[in-house]
Amino acid sequence: MSSGNSKTHTKALHANLKRGRLEVEVNASTFDPQALFSFAERRNPKRAFLFVSRVLGRHIPARPSLMAESFNALAAKIPADLPGPVLVIGMAETAVGLGAGVHRALSQTRQDSVYLCSSRHPTGSALFARFEEEHSHASSHLLHLPQEALTREMMLNARSLVLVDDEASTGNTFINLTKALAEAGLNSIERIVTATLTDWSQDAVRHAMGEHVTSISLLDGCYTFTEDPAAELPEMPEVGSVAQGNWPLDPSRDWGRMGVREHADTLAPGLQIEPGERVLVIGTSEFVWLPFLLAERLERAGADVHFSSTSRSPIALGHAIDHALSFSDNYGLGIPNFLYNVAPGQFDRVLICSETPAAAVDPALLNALNAQVIVDDH
C-alpha cells in the first residue's frame, strides 16, 4: 500500500448494484483508494450498499502489518493539542479493533487516554449510555460503565472525544452517540474528533454540532446512490439482537467494553508456528483486538498471516464478496453469523478466537475450515 501525505485529487469510482448505482468521488486519500475499500451490497432494506474496507480485517482478510499501518496513519492525524483526558470510542462491531488500534497508537504519546468500545453484547454490568445507528442491520449500541476506578474516572472527566468508525456516510451515528453521552452526564467535552478510514459525510458532524468538531480520515469523498424504485428489497436475517445469550460474558475478563488504558497481548502465549506457515486468525464478533495482537505476534515470528473476523452483517455475494460462510453465533443468541472471503483450504492453519467457551463455536464453521478454537482464558 503506497502512502504519503494526503494526496488531493478527484477520482470517480462506481458500482452497479441490484438496487441501484453507487457513485463515489474521492477528494483526498492518504493511500490508493482501491487499496482502502471496495463496494458490496447489503442484505438490508434500509440501505442497499456497503463500503468494504480492505485494511480492516473484517470482511476481507488482511495482513496484520497492513492493518497496523492504517491504525497508525489514522492516529497520526489526531490533533496533538486535544485537552485531556481523551476518551476514544470504537463502534461495534466493525470498528472495535480499529478503535483499539487507533488508541494503541495514540497512547504512545498520550498517557491520559482511555479506550471504550460500544457493544451489542451486554455483560450484565452497569450501562452508561445507549445510542442508535439507524441504517444498520443491528441498530442499538450499548456503552458500559468502566468498573476499574481510574479508567472510569478518566472516562467521566474526559475533555476530548475521539470517535472511531470504519466509515462515515451521513455522520448520524456520531451525532447520536455524542448526544447520548451528553444525556448520560458526560458534559465536560470540549473537543470532538471523528476518525474514519473512509469519510463520505462532507463534514456533517461539524455542520450539525459546531466548530469544536474535527474530522480525520484516510480517505475523504462523497457518494451518490441512485436507487432503482423497481428493484426488489432483500430479506434481511434477524440479526439485531442486543441481549445476553446462553453463553454469558464475564465483565471481569472483558476486553474493551469495560474500558482499557493499556494493550496487553495475552491470547495463546505459547502458540508456535512454522516459518512461512499460512495462518488465518479469525476474531469473533466484537472479540477482535486480542486475536489481532495474536496475529501480529505470529506475523512477527515469521508466519504468513492474515486476519479476519466473523460478522453479524448480512452481505450479498458479488463485488467485494466472493465467498460467504453462514453459521450460528457463538454467544448463544440464535442469530446467524457470517465469514466472508475465506474459502476452505486457503490456509495451512485456521485459528478461531473466542471469548466464549470452545463448545459455543458452531461445529459447522470448525469443520468447514478444519479450524481450531483459541479461547480467551487470561
Q: Output the pLDDT for position 10.
A: 66
C-beta neighbour count of 112 within 10 angstroms: 16
Residues 6+ apart with CB under 8 A from 242: 120, 121, 122, 138, 140, 142
Range of the domain at 369: 264-375
Q: Output the pLDDT for position 9.
A: 56
- 261 and 107 Cβ atoms separated by less than 8 Å: yes
- Helix (H) / strand (E) element for 90: namely strand 86-90
Instruction: State the total domains in the chain.
Output: 1
Lowest mean pLDDT among 15-29, 208-222, 232-246, 329-343: 232-246
- 219 and 201 Cβ atoms separated by less than 8 Å: no
Nearest 10 degrees: CA dihedral of 3, 7, 11, 14?
Answer: 40
Lowest mean pLDDT among 66-70, 136-140, 187-191, 301-305: 136-140
For residue 83, is it within any domain?
Answer: no
Strand partners, 306: 280
The residue type of 251 is P
The residue type of 272 is Q
Query: What does each C-alpha distance from 354 to 72, 309, 326, 375 come to in angstroms?
Result: 26, 11, 17, 5
- 120 and 92 Cβ atoms separated by less than 8 Å: yes
Residue 254 has pLDDT above 90, yes or no: no
- 97 and 57 Cβ atoms separated by less than 8 Å: yes
**How many percent of the chain have pLDDT more than 70?**
96
Q: Output the pLDDT for position 5.
A: 47
Q: Output the pLDDT for position 255.
A: 86
Residue 165 has pLDDT above 50, yes or no: yes
For residue 312, is it within any domain?
Answer: yes
Q: Output the pLDDT for position 240.
A: 86
Q: Which cell numbers in the block locate residue 247? A: 453463553
For residue 72, is it within any domain?
Answer: no
For residue 259, is it within any domain?
Answer: no
Residues 6+ apart with CB under 8 A from 313: 42, 50, 59, 93, 94, 137, 239, 338
Confidence at 132, pLDDT banded by 50, 70, 90: confident
Confidence at 4, pLDDT banded by 50, 70, 90: very low
- DSSP letter string, 168-197: ESSSHHHHHHHHHHHHTT-----EEEEEEE
What is the arithmetic mean of pLDDT over 197-213?
Answer: 96
**What is the pLDDT of the chain when averaged over all its residues?**
94
**How many percent of the chain have pLDDT more than 90?**
89
Q: Output the pLDDT for position 140.
A: 87
What span, in angstroms and rounded, lies between the C-alpha atoms of 207 and 226? 24
Q: Output the pLDDT for position 252.
A: 85
**Angle formed by the axes of helices 64-75 and 96-106, to 10°?**
60
